[in-house]
């Protein structure tokens, strides 16, 4: 079912109709959606939601992006003794930067250039998905005139989303 939902979501390419969305609410909704996996792993979320910051986005698609990133972070830490995910939101001029960082094993440098390719799956991550989650993240960010970047160093992988800020 999850694979079919991801395929349908990836195929949906209609133009976004952005509206002001409170980032803290989107994070809270995404956390609820991954709660069963978080509980299963005994993971801890550390969230700095950015107060009243708003972005121009579609709420459902923003939540989908966050769910994909949170689920990937949790899956990357499936064998860690104390899994932790940090979510941080901050204003940066006309932009809002939202980062999701895990304390997993990290992603090998040779895999980083391929992460956003369709059907690409990182080795060693359990459970293995369809390889569409990060392709969907990039697609949604492009639709919203935003950007996604990734860095992985010393066992910490950080995804940073940059959205247009709503005043």
Quick check: pTM over 0.75? yes
* CA-angle at 9, arms to 6 and 12, nearest 5°: 150
Token couple for 72: 């990937």
What pLDDT score was predicted for residue 125? Answer: 56
In Å, the largest CA–CA distance within the chain is 42
CA–CA distance, 115 with 104 (Å, rounded to integer): 16
- Kindly report the number of other CB atoms within 10 A of residue 152's CB atom: 22
72 contact partners, CB below 8 Å, separation of at least 6: 125, 133, 134
pLDDT averaged over 10-residue windows placed end to end, the chain, 167 residues:
50 66 95 95 93 90 93 89 94 95 88 79 58 81 89 90 89
What pLDDT score was predicted for residue 41? Answer: 94
Residue reference for tokens 């459902």: 60
Three-state DSSP at 10 gives helix
What pLDDT score was predicted for residue 134? Answer: 82
Closest-CA residue to 56 (of 20, 99, 100, 11):
20
Three-state DSSP at 151 gives strand
* CA-angle at 25, arms to 138 and 36, nearest 5°: 80
Pinpoint the alpha helices (H) of the chain: 2-11, 23-41, 59-76, 133-143
- 144 secondary structure, DSSP code: T
CA–CA distance, 62 with 87 (Å, rounded to integer): 14
Contact indicator for 75, 123 with CB cutoff of 8 Å:
no
What pLDDT score was predicted for residue 13? Answer: 52
What pLDDT score was predicted for residue 10? Answer: 44
């Amino acid at each position: 079912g999850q694979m079919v939902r991801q395929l349908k979501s990836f195929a949906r390419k209609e133009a976004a109709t952005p509206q002001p969305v409170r980032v803290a609410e989107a994070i809270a909704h995404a956390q609820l959606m991954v709660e069963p996996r978080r509980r299963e792993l005994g993971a801890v979320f550390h969230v700095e939601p950015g107060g009243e910051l708003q972005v121009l986005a579609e709420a459902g698609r923003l939540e989908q992006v966050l769910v994909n990133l949170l689920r990937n972070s949790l899956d990357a830490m499936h064998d860690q003794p104390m899994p932790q995910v940090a979510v941080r939101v901050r204003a940066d001029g006309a932009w809002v930067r939202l980062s999701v960082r895990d304390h997993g094993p990290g992603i090998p440098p040779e895999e980083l250039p391929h992460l956003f390719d369709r059907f690409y799956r990182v080795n060693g991550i359990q459970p293995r998905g369809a390889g569409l989650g990060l392709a969907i993240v990039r697609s949604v960010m492009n639709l919203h005139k935003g950007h996604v970047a990734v860095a992985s160093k010393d066992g910490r992988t950080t995804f940073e989303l940059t959205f247009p800020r709503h005043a």
